[in-house]
Chain A
Amino acid sequence: MLKFITKSMFQGLVAVLTVVAMTSIGTTSMFLMYQPEPPKKF
């Protein structure tokens, strides 16, 4: 059960991080006045 919860939690985190990364790559800029270096392959 604990393994299932942990796995789901990490998959949720992956989904969030992927959406954030995709959003940033797909737009000119986030509201931040700093642009981290995007991943080499995108």
Chain B
Amino acid sequence: MNEISVHKMAQAVGSHVAKRISRLDQAEYLAYGAEILLGSIVKLCVLFFIASIMGVVLEVTVLLAVTGLIRTLSGGAHCSAYYRCLVTSDLILTALGYTIKTIHPIIGLLPTTVLLGITMLSIYVYWCYAPQAPLNKPFKSSTMRLTFRWYTLITVVTLSIISIILGTDSLSAWTMAFALLWQAFTLTPAGHWFIGLWDILLTLKKKGGEVEC
């Protein structure tokens, strides 16, 4: 099982492409790009396959678009291996999408102040915790950190305004609000603990404390 992995496939692609263009010095860089691309394709295929079975394609699309955009700017908790990330994020996004769709007839009756409250709470969490760079890719300067902080806050405020304009009877508005809240949660210490817990639960076979991805 561990013989086939996205990491190994990406390294093979990177080396092969680098050889074909006679730029062996670029192999590592191309393999890194291939790992992200292959990982994303596999993840999206699995995610939308599950979402279509559950009938929550629209909800998952909105959740993915909002969390994906914000996550690119704010960062957040990470799993330590690709397949754990695949299981955790597919499980969370589809479960969240399904829950929102199920409870929408009830939450759709709530006043706008509730939606406003959720978005305000999200903005507060982003204000306190964003941005967070992964350990293997720290910010190169405080200016870069500050830039990402402001990009995050501007994007979150914009999406919050869109959500409130759409109104409480809109499924997309609630999906956006919950996506903002979920992504905000992954920035908090509790969010890191939660993702860390999934990381431990999904560790099938330990090899010196870590499973090869």
Contact = CB atoms under 8 A, between A and B. Distances in A.
A21 B33 contact: yes
Contact of A34 (B14, B75, B80): B80
Given A18-B30, A39-B29, A33 B134 contact: no
A10 B20 CA distance: 7
B61 to A, nearest CB: 12
Contacts of A14: 17, 21, 23, 26, 30
Interface residues of B, number: 52
B73 A28 contact: yes
A41 B34 CA distance: 17
A36 B72 contact: no
A35 B213 CA distance: 11
Given A17-B37, A20-B33, A33 B78 contact: yes
Interface of A: 10-11, 13-14, 16-21, 24-25, 27-42
Given A28-B148, A31-B68, A36-B32, 4 more contacts: A16-B33, A30-B40, A30-B71, A32-B43
Interface of B: 7, 10, 13-14, 17, 20-21, 23, 26, 28-37, 39-40, 43, 64, 67-68, 71-82, 84-85, 88-89, 131-134, 136-137, 139, 148, 186, 195, 213
16 contacts: A10-B21, A16-B37, A17-B29, A19-B33, A20-B37, A21-B32, A24-B36, A28-B73, A28-B75, A28-B139, A32-B36, A33-B77, A33-B78, A34-B39, A34-B213, A35-B78
